[in-house]
């Protein structure tokens, strides 16, 4: 299928769905897909492979897109820190 055919089909589907926001493109779907995978707990290296990124740093850009990812990280850190002696003085 030609790239222009896919883009045209996406534009028609977007119009039919009532999406009028500028800047919504097929690439937006890639970003959404990767973000949803990340929020579902899929390993970042797996997402890198699925997205076809050569560099992990490219995939890591999705980390800032998800509030859930930040919340999950805080919960994990708090869980690790539970029960540790936080008093540094003997």
pLDDT in tens, the chain (90 residues): 787 788 889 899 999 999 888 888 888 888 888 888 888 889 989 999 999 999 998 888 877 766 666 677 778 788 888 877 655 555
Structural domain total, the chain:
1
Asked if residue 8 is part of any domain, the answer here is no
Q: What pTM was estimated for this model as a whole?
A: 0.60
Predicted pLDDT at 87: 59
Token pair 């919504």 in the structure block, residue: 24
Asked if residue 72 is part of any domain, the answer here is yes
Q: Which domain covers residue 77, as residue numbers?
A: 28-83
Query: Which one-letter DSSP state was computed for residue 63?
Result: G
Asked if residue 76 is part of any domain, the answer here is yes
Predicted pLDDT at 76: 79
């Amino acid at each position: 299928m030609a790239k222009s055919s896919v883009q045209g089909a996406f534009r028609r589907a977007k119009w039919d769905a009532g999406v009028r926001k500028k800047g919504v493109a097929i690439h937006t779907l890639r970003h959404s897909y990767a973000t949803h995978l990340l929020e579902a707990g899929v390993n970042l290296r797996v997402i890198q492979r699925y997205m076809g990124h050569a560099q992990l740093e490219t995939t890591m850009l999705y980390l800032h897109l998800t509030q859930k990812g930040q919340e999950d990280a805080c919960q994990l850190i708090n869980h690790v820190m539970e029960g540790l002696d936080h008093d540094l003085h003997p």
